[in-house]
């Protein structure tokens, strides 16, 4: 009787392994298709290139944090936080970015311009994905 139970148990394990394998393979195919779709929709825009471009514009302004994200599938949003030596340097940075990214919307709250030296800021730059 014991041998018969072992055979039945082995058959059940084998059956369960086949079912699990089928589920896993199906999920992998679905994930693969999703990854392919996301890669094809991502276009040519690469976060590292966008961040490097923005960092190159900083001049004497020191960045402490840069965060990168997407709004929907067509808008890149980069939030830059840092410290500017003075108000004029921060305004100059904003103007340089506006010239370099003419399609961008640049948000720099006026409250951050109240201080004249060592200005701590957070600037949001939104622009269409390339």
Are both 56 and 34 inside the same structural domain?
no
pLDDT at 87 over 80: yes
Please give the radius of gyration of the chain, using alpha carbons only, rounded to the nearest integer: 26
Give residue 31's domain range.
Answer: 1-41
Residue 24 near residue 17 (C-beta atoms within 8 A): no
Are both 57 and 108 inside the same structural domain?
yes
128: left (phi over 0), alpha (psi -120 to 50) or beta: beta
Residue 125 near residue 101 (C-beta atoms within 8 A): yes
Q: What is the number of structural domains in the chain?
A: 2
Are both 80 and 100 inside the same structural domain?
yes
Are both 60 and 91 inside the same structural domain?
yes
pLDDT tens-digit readout, 15-61: 766 676 666 666 766 666 666 655 555 555 577 777 777 788 878 89
pLDDT band of residue 6 (cuts 50, 70, 90) is confident
Are both 122 and 66 inside the same structural domain?
yes
Are both 83 and 112 inside the same structural domain?
yes
Are both 119 and 72 inside the same structural domain?
yes
pLDDT, mean of residues 83-96: 90
Are both 85 and 26 inside the same structural domain?
no
Q: Which residue has the higher pLDDT, 12 or 1?
A: 12
Are both 52 and 96 inside the same structural domain?
yes
């Amino acid at each position: 009787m014991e041998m018969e139970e072992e055979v039945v148990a082995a058959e059940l394990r084998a059956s369960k392994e086949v079912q699990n394998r089928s589920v896993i393979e199906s999920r992998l195919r679905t994930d693969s298709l999703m990854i392919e779709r996301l890669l094809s929709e991502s276009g040519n825009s690469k976060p590292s290139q966008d961040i490097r471009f923005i960092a190159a514009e900083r001049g004497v302004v020191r960045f402490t944090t840069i965060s990168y994200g997407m709004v929907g599938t067509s808008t890149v949003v980069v939030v830059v936080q840092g410290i500017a030596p003075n108000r004029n340097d921060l305004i100059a940075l904003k103007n340089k970015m506006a010239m370099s990214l003419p399609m961008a919307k640049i948000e720099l709250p006026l409250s951050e311009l109240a201080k004249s030296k060592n200005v701590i800021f957070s600037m949001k730059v939104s622009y269409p994905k390339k």
